[in-house]
Amino acid sequence: MNTNNREKLKNLLDSHLPGTVYVASWLEGRGISRDLQKHYRKSGWLETAGTGAFKRPGEQVSWQGGLYALQAQSGLDVHAGALTALALQGYAHYLRLGAETVFLFSPPKTNLPAWFKNRDWGQKIHHCKTSALPPALALADYQAGAFSIQISTPERAFLECLHLSPDTIDLVECYQVMEGLTTLRPKLLQPLLEQCSSIKVKRLFLYMAEKAGHDWFQRLDTSKFNLGAGARTVTKGGVYVSSYGLTVPEELVKL
């Protein structure tokens, strides 16, 4: 290995964040060609993490380290949201941390690379492509060891839960989460709800927030929310809530 390539390797290893993935295209951008990447792998400095990605040999990489690479190296507009983001921030305490599905959100045209989709992360990855919420609003940095990833704030995360209901996340489970969200911030909720394009999500949110009786609910200007017209059946054979034009599970109404 010549001096230049040895220096590239030293810089790469010195700047490595434990638990993260190296994306091949990102390495190329740092002057490490595909041939040199192959040489580093054969020499034992790198280990394949799937097609187009590497990791340090023997190092455990979680989905968080993979998401870091998607965000910081590939520049993809994807973040952890819904129940995943709530659990990381101390909400949804009853969830079995480390065993639940990981929920990732992105705009509709964002595709995850094969190395991420095909890797066994030890947890199911649910990638939701949606434009129901504005892409860059109400996201936060979460420190995951040596690196940070972007996740939804609790305000956005709960709206994402409602977006996935009732097929992926149960509505009763959503309401149980809502009961614990006593400190949501109206300054974040207001623009989120004003820009949310899902009538179902907005109506469900207002119904659950009012039902839970949280103080912050009174500080929302609901007159600025487009709630659409006509009834919405969220659950067939459920109970009709006339104030919000929703048909929801009887179990939820009785809570």
What pTM value is reported for the model? 0.94
CA distance 106 to 119: 19
* 222 confidence band (pLDDT: 50, 70, 90): very high
Write b or e for each residue in 210-236: b if 16 or more Cβ atoms lie within 10 A of its Cβ, otherwise e.
ebbebebbeebeeeebeeeeeebebbe
Handedness of CA 92, 176, 180, 80 (dihedral sign): positive
In the predicted structure, residue 91 carries a pLDDT above the cut 90: no
In the predicted structure, residue 139 carries a pLDDT above the cut 70: yes
pLDDT at residue number 208: 98
In the predicted structure, residue 105 carries a pLDDT above the cut 70: yes
In the predicted structure, residue 88 carries a pLDDT above the cut 70: yes
